[in-house]
Amino acid sequence: MRITLIQDIIFWADKAANIQKVEDQLILLAGKTDLVVLPEMFTTGFCTEKLQLAEKMDGVTVHTLKTWAVKYKMAITGSFIANEDEKIYNRAFFVFPSGEIETADKRHLFSLGGEHEHFTAGDKRLIVNYEGFNILVLVCYDVRFPVWSRNVNAGFDLIIYVANFPQRRIIDWDILLQARAVENQAYVCGVNRVGVDGLGIDYDGHSALLDFKAKPLLNFPENKTSIQTAVITTEPLARYRHKFDVLRDADTFDIN
């Protein structure tokens, strides 16, 4: 599977500008990739108090994502601010090239940033099957909580974290992505934004694609827009799990 990570700035609360920028990038990627990964809240930035930016599932963002996926023959994943049943969610999505979409909401809300004051936490994980991979899609702060990321019965081969992870804690991001790869025996993809947001918070990227031993498969420049593609396959992962099957010794647990 060809997977493309887009590390870029996000225009603060400007959906039209962000949508246009992403489409310009997808045009150039058409026919060259199978899956594009966008940062968290790719149309707005991490706007936790601008609730007017939230959209229904039949809104502009979802319609545009479906149109892109079909037109450019690729899957697309990321998150946006969703409004459903009078509740606000940081909603992860995975859009297939057919235009079909699957979603789940961010489980762990970043209370230090006030996200919990306006948003509702999710209660399910988004796992999809695409191009021979079982893929788990999670959002930013979820990376700090290994139980929610845990690979139960080898249920996924790739974890994707879409993020707005600030520069001041970027070393945590680097370490956590590596840990999630090793403990889950899975590829890990983390896509983070760059630039400064409307609150003056700095982001310097550190997007990454790691193999199941946490070996970097791509190297992103710090604090610069960068679009990179790599090819990953399930065969070496299957061989490694067969040879070193630590997942069979994992604890069982329930999440409340």
Query: What are the strands, taking DSSP E only, across the chain?
Result: 2-7, 35-37, 75-84, 87-95, 101-105, 126-130, 133-139, 158-163, 187-192, 194-196, 202-204, 208-210, 226-231
> How big, in percent rounded to 5, are the helix, strand and coil portions of the chain?
30, 30, 40
Contact between residue 185 and residue 237 where contact means Cβ atoms under 8 Å apart = yes
Per the annotation, the verdict on 189 as an active-site residue is: no
Adjacent-strand bridge partners of 93: 78, 103
Residue 137 CA to residue 189 CA, distance in Å, equals: 9
| Marked catalytic residue, from 15, 21, 66, 106 | 106
Tell me the three state secondary structure of residue 119: strand
Q: Identity (one letter) of the amino acid at 218?
A: L
Per the annotation, the verdict on 235 as an active-site residue is: no
Cβ of 152: how many Cβ atoms within 10 Å?
13
Per the annotation, the verdict on 55 as an active-site residue is: no
- Per-residue DSSP letter, 59: S
Residue 31 CA to residue 229 CA, distance in Å, equals: 12
| Marked catalytic residue, from 21, 66, 140, 189 | 140
| Marked catalytic residue, from 21, 40, 66, 189 | 40
Contact between residue 88 and residue 120 where contact means Cβ atoms under 8 Å apart = yes
Q: Identity (one letter) of the amino acid at 151?
A: N
Q: Which pair of structure tokens corresponds to residue 205? A: 């990227």
Cβ of 223: how many Cβ atoms within 10 Å?
18
Q: Which residue numbers are catalytic?
A: 40, 106, 140
